[in-house]
Amino acid sequence: MSTDAFLAAHGFAGARRTPLPGDAGHRRYVRLAGGPRPALLMDGSGAAAVGLPSAEADLRAFLAIAAHLRGIGLSAPEVLAADPPAGLLLLEDLGEPTHATLLDGGAEPLPLYLAAAETLAALHEAPPPPGLPAWEGEAMARAAGATFLDWWWPAAMGAGPTPAQREGFHAAMRAMLKPFEGAGGFVHRDYFPANLLPLSARPGPASVGIIDFQDAGHGHPAYDLVSLLQDARRDVAGEVRRAATARYLDLRPGIDREAFEAATAAMAAQRHLRVAALWVRLDRRDGKPHYLRHGPRCWRLLEEVLRHPATAPLAAFLDENLPRDRRANPLMEPAA
């Protein structure tokens, strides 16, 4: 079904369409006004272009996770209509400001991060839905290699890694992550301010709307706290990090705090290295050079967490294969 036909079938034929700014993913969003109710059109038809199996599989994951989040009392958008084979969804419009736009506008950070931490604790306390893909050692090592080895390394080093370097990297990543496998649950994977919305009229953990959750997996909960508080796209003050972490842990008293701190370091090392290299892929493959401005932050955050003993396998690999002065954005011209 075409987009026009899909909108017409659900009463939005005459709705005004305002495209929303794109992000690093393949999905496109359009705000609809003048229809039966405020809504967003999500178009995931570009899934195949970025290597996902299909738009239908991508949207069915979105539908399943949305149902789970709403079922445990959290604020995911209500699905108004869906055509998964076409990659089209009509969603409840939770509103325009995100936590990111509020922060960019000068809002006080601490209340927003504390609210996000409280919602995250509720999300992680609930039993995860069945069928989530693993986001643990092997999957995380492959994902990091797909950006760091396949895109950053050739761009920065002038040639791809040797087979021995590839194997060494994967072995180091697996060794770092292995102690933290099997102890987790639902992981959003991109729980950061651009994907959170203030909904002050809703009670408790539902006061933070959650979007862009379709890539959720089963993994260690520390990964989401890293996404929030060691954000690849914005600096977070140390006192805010500490306060939000304390709020999260206070709401989950059964957590071993020392083990959680070690897991946080390991999850952060994987994420920062993977995302620092992802910016290069977005530039070279997708023609989005503006993301390179976040590279220095990711490399700085990586160096911070590499001091923790839990990251020793990856730190040793990098010390052997990658001089510190090369741990940065590649010196290159953006793709034409």
Which domain range does residue 40 map to?
A: 3-92
Whether residue 70 lies inside any domain: the answer is yes
Whether residue 334 lies inside any domain: the answer is no
Whether residue 332 lies inside any domain: the answer is no
Three-state SS letters, the chain: CCHHHHHHHCCCCCCEEEECCCCCCCCEEEEEECCCCCEEEEECCCHHHHCCCCHHHHHHHHHHHHHHHHHCCCECCCEEEEEHHHCEEEEECCCCCCHHHHHHCCCCHHHHHHHHHHHHHHHHHCCCCCCCCEECHHHHHHHHHHHHHHHHHHHHHCCCCCHHHHHHHHHHHHHHHHHHCCCCEEECCCCCHHHEEECCCCCHHHHEEECCCCCCEEECCHHHHHHHHCCCCCCCCHHHHHHHHHHHHHCCCCCCHHHHHHHHHHHHHHHHHHHHHHHHHHHHCCCCHHHHHHHHHHHHHHHHHCCCHHHHHHHHHHHHHCCHHHCCCCCCCCCC
Domain boundary among 69, 92, 115: 92
**Chain-centre distance for alpha carbon 232:** 10
* pLDDT score, position 336: 38
195 shares its domain with 77 = no
230-255 residue pLDDT tens? 999 999 999 999 999 999 999 999 99
Domain boundary among 92, 111, 143: 92
* pLDDT score, position 61: 86
* CATH code of the domain in which 73 resides: 3.30.200.20
166 shares its domain with 40 = no
88 shares its domain with 113 = no
60 shares its domain with 181 = no
Token output for 14: 């005459």
The total domain count for the chain is 2
175 shares its domain with 254 = yes
Cβ atoms within 10 Å of 127's Cβ, excluding its own? 9
86 shares its domain with 117 = no
* pLDDT score, position 229: 98
277 shares its domain with 175 = yes
34 Rama class: left (phi>0) / alpha (psi -120 to 50) / beta = left
Whether residue 141 lies inside any domain: the answer is yes
236 shares its domain with 259 = yes
Whether residue 144 lies inside any domain: the answer is yes
Domain boundary among 35, 57, 92: 92
* pLDDT score, position 47: 55
* pLDDT score, position 248: 98
- Which parts of the chain have pLDDT scores under 70? 22-25, 46-53, 332-336
**pTM (two decimals):** 0.92
Whether residue 59 lies inside any domain: the answer is yes
Whether residue 219 lies inside any domain: the answer is yes
* pLDDT score, position 332: 57
* CATH code of the domain in which 279 resides: 3.90.1200.10
To 10 degrees, what angle do helices 163-177 and 312-321 make? 160
134 shares its domain with 41 = no
128 shares its domain with 267 = yes
67 shares its domain with 205 = no
* pLDDT score, position 21: 78
79 shares its domain with 198 = no
